[in-house]
Amino acid sequence: MKPTPWKLVIVVGALCGAGAAAAGQDTSKASGATLLVNDSDALGQQGDDRLALAEAIRLANGGLALAQLSVSERRQVRGVPGVGRADRIRFAVKERVVRFPLQIAKKPEMDFAVLQTKSFMPVLAGNGGDEIDGKGVRFTNGPDDATDTVNAQTLTSGAPLGGAALVIESSDFTIRNAQFERFIDGLIFRPATGAASMTNVRVINNQFHKGGGIAFSGVSAGHERSALRNILIEGNTFLGPAHFGGSFPSKLHTAIAVTGATAAVAKGAATAKDVVVEDVQISRNTVRAFAGGVQVQPLQTLFAANRGAVLNRLHISGNDIALDPEAGDPAVYIWGAVSVNGQVSDVRVTGIRIENNKVLGNGHVLFIAGVEALMGGDVATRNIHMEDIRIAQNRIASLKSCSYGITTIAAFPEMGGPPATGLSLKNVRVVGNTIEGCAIGAFSAPVLNVGAPGASSGNEIAGLSYEGNSISGAETGIVVTGGALTAEKFKGSAAIHRNRLSEVIVRDNRIGASKRGILVAGAFASGEGAGTLSGNVVGLVDVAGNRMKAGQSAPLCHIRAEFSQRSSASMVGNRVKGGGPDCVEGPSS
């Protein structure tokens, strides 16, 4: 569940195999100024002998004129800065550190509170084409020896945690080679008020230490729906407070978060345009000791209704993610939508690539869901469709307790959330992954209900393949089911009716498991949650070429119309159609 602008330009050259023109970057900006920041106080004092970061931002924004600076400050500016020009901000400060005004966040009473942050710096708005190149400069929240007078030093080791460093509302913007320390949010990106989109943003080779990471939003500064396009997040390092012996103020703390429309525009969602997120690349980043690694969600809502979102072409590749050992949320989490005591609908997602990542986590480690709906709401989620999903060549392992390595589901009602109707995933390929130490290596279902009442029906996964994966240390290697109820007791009763998983291929996987290699079930139930599963169907194309690893005595593949694992739910009329040479009819539990 869950999740300050500048300006400078540069020739981005070849990024991920594509030049600036191929990436759609605007290279027509007029040549701007080079602004050399030499004041270690981020705010500084206008008219003194040094140029501060805030003054450089205002010059680039067009909010400060050169004539308003002192002679010494003007010597730090080469060229004419301002709106419509490609300016560069660089640094020549003592000890390579710029200290921001100290912010201390009060730890909320709820572990999963949504934190609201602000920056004391000028917003980087209207800075299209600008670049900030830190060359290793440290941006710090106050002095290194600051005392946390609010939380009795319970948040981080050595210094308090709070606020946001910079807020960016500019397209064609690059920030690179800077280090952010002890901010809850290092960087916040959002379109400017009235902007049709934020495009061509590059966050490259930065470091985020002892605090939070970066967050993109498709909701503008004026609370309007907008678009995020051509976003590159590459080569950054995220080391959370836990890495330094401290703790986060909230468990909803993610290194990289990209969100389209949120509850901030929910009231106008019935007539508003779709929010659009397109061409996002998250590559070669390192994440350590965070509560969440990468989360992308085109639509979310809190205690309201929200609708209308598009996510096209998301590529997550070559990242190295190891969450905090106590983290419970997925390390990589892709939603079509998430609803907390509300309702969501009308989302289209296409072109998801999750490839060549190394991921360590707990619970569900790599999780793709059409919708997650939880904590109340009684209107069924509708019209959320995801297609063309490829999860390939990833290495996935358990930190402390991994329940599922790779999960792909259309509907995920949980914790009392509303049901789902008519959701779909199409053309899902899980290929060549290595999964170690998870109770279930890979799991797929049109509906996975974890303790939510109501009837989820008519949901579908069409075109699912598991090929060439290597799974070790599991109880069951791969589970494919038409509908699943996995919950202990909860208030109410669930119904999972007439959902379909079709065109399933399971080939050439190597599995080490204690109970079974592959389980195909029309319906799957575990726990004491009350409910009925009926009329759910799995359609197999082929299950062949799979084998158990040496020394494994568990059966290779079981097919079962209905599978119960310590469950009191009733099941009737569920089916598996088709089969393959690797499978036999299996036991019911």
**φ and ψ at residue 386, rounded to 5 degrees:** -125, 140
Q: Please, what's the largest Cα pairwise distance for the chain?
A: 85
Question: For residue 60, is it within any domain?
Answer: yes
Q: SS3 string of 7-28?
A: CCCCCCCCECCECCCCCCCCCC
Question: For residue 210, is it within any domain?
Answer: yes
Confidence of residue 388 (pLDDT cuts 50, 70, 90): very high
Q: Are residues 309 and 191 both part of a single domain?
A: yes
| pLDDT (average), residues 3-32 | 37
Q: Are residues 492 and 388 both part of a single domain?
A: yes
Q: Are residues 59 and 176 both part of a single domain?
A: no
Question: Measured on CA atoms in the order 115, 142, 285, 289, is the torsion positive or negative?
Answer: negative
Structure tokens at 571: 């099941």
pLDDT at 420: 95
pLDDT at 108: 82
Structure tokens at 61: 């924004």
Helix count (H) and strand count (E) of the chain?
2, 42
Question: For residue 325, is it within any domain?
Answer: yes
Confidence of residue 322 (pLDDT cuts 50, 70, 90): very high
Q: Are residues 371 and 330 both part of a single domain?
A: yes
Q: By C-alpha distance, which of 129, 128, 122 is closest to 63? A: 122
Q: Pick the residue with more confidence: 155 or 68?
A: 68
To the nearest 5 percent, what fractions of the chain are helix, strand and coil?
5, 55, 40
Q: Is it the case that residue 422 has pLDDT exceeding 60? A: yes
pLDDT at 4: 27
Q: SS3 string of 395-459?
A: EEEEEEEEEEEEEEEEEEEECCCCCEECCEEEEEEEECCEEEEEEEEEEEEEEEEECCCEEEECC
Q: Are residues 340 and 293 both part of a single domain?
A: yes
Question: For residue 480, is it within any domain?
Answer: yes
| pLDDT (average), residues 87-94 | 96
- Per-residue pLDDT tens for 173-198? 999 999 999 999 999 999 999 999 99
Confidence of residue 156 (pLDDT cuts 50, 70, 90): low
pLDDT at 587: 63
Question: For residue 252, is it within any domain?
Answer: yes
Asked if 576 contacts 485 with a C-beta cutoff of 8 angstroms, the reply is no
Q: Is it the case that residue 112 has pLDDT exceeding 80? A: no
Q: From CA 106, how far away is CA 124, in angstroms rounded?
A: 27
Number of domains in the chain: 2
Question: For residue 151, is it within any domain?
Answer: no
Confidence of residue 17 (pLDDT cuts 50, 70, 90): very low
Q: Is it the case that residue 443 has pLDDT exceeding 70? A: yes
The angle formed by the CA atoms of residues 267, 271 and 272, to the nearest 5 degrees, is: 80
pLDDT at 81: 94
pLDDT at 5: 28
Q: By C-alpha distance, which of 565, 554, 350, 321 is closest to 443? A: 565
Q: From CA 16, how far away is CA 6, in angstroms rounded?
A: 24
Question: For residue 165, is it within any domain?
Answer: yes
Q: Is it the case that residue 10 has pLDDT exceeding 90? A: no
Q: Could you give the percent of the chain with pLDDT greater than 90?
A: 75
Q: Are residues 452 and 504 both part of a single domain?
A: yes
Residue type (1 letter), 269 = A
What is the chain's length?
A: 589
**φ and ψ at residue 21, rounded to 5 degrees:** -65, -40
**Window from 27-31, 231-235, 388-392 with minimum mean pLDDT:** 27-31
- Per-residue pLDDT tens for 280-309? 999 999 999 999 999 999 999 988 889 999
Q: From CA 465, how far away is CA 480, in angstroms rounded?
A: 10
pLDDT at 414: 92
Question: For residue 148, is it within any domain?
Answer: no
Residue type (1 letter), 298 = P
**φ and ψ at residue 114, rounded to 5 degrees:** -85, 120
Q: Are residues 496 and 578 both part of a single domain?
A: yes
Q: From CA 43, how far away is CA 54, in angstroms rounded?
A: 5
| pLDDT (average), residues 58-71 | 94
> 79 lies in which domain range?
32-101
Structure tokens at 416: 């009392």
Q: Are residues 377 and 433 both part of a single domain?
A: yes
The single residue listed with the structure tokens 């490839």 is 355
| pLDDT (average), residues 360-388 | 93
Residue 382's Cβ-side half-sphere holds a number of Cα atoms within 13 Å equal to 4
Q: Is it the case that residue 237 has pLDDT exceeding 60? A: yes
Confidence of residue 157 (pLDDT cuts 50, 70, 90): low
3-state DSSP call for residue 59?
helix
Q: Are residues 220 and 342 both part of a single domain?
A: yes
Q: Are residues 74 and 139 both part of a single domain?
A: no
pLDDT at 247: 79
| pLDDT (average), residues 318-327 | 94
Q: Are residues 394 and 451 both part of a single domain?
A: yes
Q: Is it the case that residue 542 has pLDDT exceeding 70? A: yes
Q: Are residues 97 and 216 both part of a single domain?
A: no
Asked if 486 contacts 453 with a C-beta cutoff of 8 angstroms, the reply is no
Global pTM value: 0.92
- Mean per-residue pLDDT of the chain: 90
pLDDT at 27: 42
